[in-house]
Amino acid sequence: MLTHMPYVTFSKNVFVPVTNICRNRCGYCGFRRDIHSAEASVMTPDHVEILLEKGVSSGCTEALFTFGEPSGAEFGEMLHEIGYSSFIEYVMDLCQMAIDHGLLPHTNAGVLCYADMRKLKPLNASMGLMLETTGEVDAHRVSPGKDPCMRLKTIENAGRLKIPFTSGILVGIGETWDDRMESLLAIRRLHLRHGHIQEVIVQNFVPKPNTPMSNCRAPSLEEMQKVVAIARAILPQEIAIQVPPNLVSIRSLIACGASDLGGISPVTIDHINPEARWPSLEELHSMMGVELRERLPIYPHFVQAGWYSSSIKELVKRYSDENGFRSKYYDR
Ligand code: SF4
């Protein structure tokens, strides 16, 4: 199958892993740390600010905030120590800090209720939550936050709030082919209802040392090609299929219908897959064979449709061109 797009998009981001504390214990996760571990961390606003400044000075437009799914009284105490009384208040403050520094926030804060998403909406250019799978997999046996109903509800709430949204599936965590198709169909159904999905990530499982799934087989390139082709066939054309350029050979996936590479950071590593470095833009140019176009964390058609709040309007206008892509003429 040939690519559907004459170009492939990406955004330039600074990756801010706000906390690695998480109530879930996904069998493949190398990122999570137990709250009592010496490596458990919650970034202070000062630490976040240093990263944001690096991002701004490196020409990024996006602040990607990622979290585990922290909960409980002990986490509350950690937040209290850095001056916050609630998780959502902390996330809102970080988003505002990014905006004040000239970056458009994209927040991945796990399963959220409608009221919390409503608070975050005006402070985000887009938000995200991987569906991963609608199937029941052993990898999620002790991960209450991976309940597909809860995740679909969060994605639906984003649609009700008109938040440009990213979701995705994780391939190779024990799901069946039927699960893969049902997951994509579930995202499609929500998008047809609300029109808010801008991209669907098709991410390959990568075994991590010292995790329960360290000896499990990663999906082959052929399997990934097939999943990308199925995703392209199931999802409406306005939804981009995103593949991670640091985890998989992208050229053949682009030929199967992938059209986005996600956030590529000139300043921070992929904290979820720290062993996999981002290719440089020059390397991507030479390995892809199609034009590479920079976008903002909000996709061009949502820029043109005005799906953003007055809080970030000035930044969206500053960074976008007449077609909603990153303006080539904006010079910091
Ligand atoms: S929810 Fe995310 S951070 Fe938490 S254990 Fe699962 S993959 Fe890791």
Is 4 a residue whose pLDDT tops 90?
A: no
Cα(324) to centroid(ligand 1), Å: 33
- Asked whether 25 lines ligand 1 (CB < 6 A), one says yes
Does the residue 2 lie in any domain?
Answer: no
- Asked whether 19 lines ligand 1 (CB < 6 A), one says no
pLDDT in tens, 192-203: 999 999 999 999
Range of the domain at 265: 7-319
Does the residue 266 lie in any domain?
Answer: yes
- Asked whether 111 lines ligand 1 (CB < 6 A), one says no
pLDDT at 1: 42
Does the residue 327 lie in any domain?
Answer: no
Does the residue 49 lie in any domain?
Answer: yes
Instruction: State how beta strands 126-128 and 165-171 pair.
Output: parallel
Contact residues for 243 (Cβ-Cβ < 8 A; gap 6+): 201, 202, 203, 224, 228, 250, 253, 254, 258, 260, 261, 262
Does the residue 204 lie in any domain?
Answer: yes
Does the residue 329 lie in any domain?
Answer: no
174: left (phi over 0), alpha (psi -120 to 50) or beta: left
Cα(195) to centroid(ligand 1), Å: 27
Contact residues for 329 (Cβ-Cβ < 8 A; gap 6+): 321
pLDDT at 286: 77
Instruction: Output the residue whose Cα is nearest ligand 1's atom 2.
Output: 68
| % of the chain surpassing 90 pLDDT | 83
Does the residue 332 lie in any domain?
Answer: no
pLDDT at 276: 80
Is 2 a residue whose pLDDT tops 70?
A: no
Q: Tally the domains of the chain.
A: 1
CATH code, domain carrying 121 = 3.20.20.70
pLDDT in tens, 30-78: 999 999 999 999 999 999 999 999 999 999 999 999 999 998 899 999 9
Is 3 a residue whose pLDDT tops 50?
A: no
Retrieve residue 31's tokens.
């990122």
Does the residue 107 lie in any domain?
Answer: yes
Confidence of residue 332 (pLDDT cuts 50, 70, 90): very low
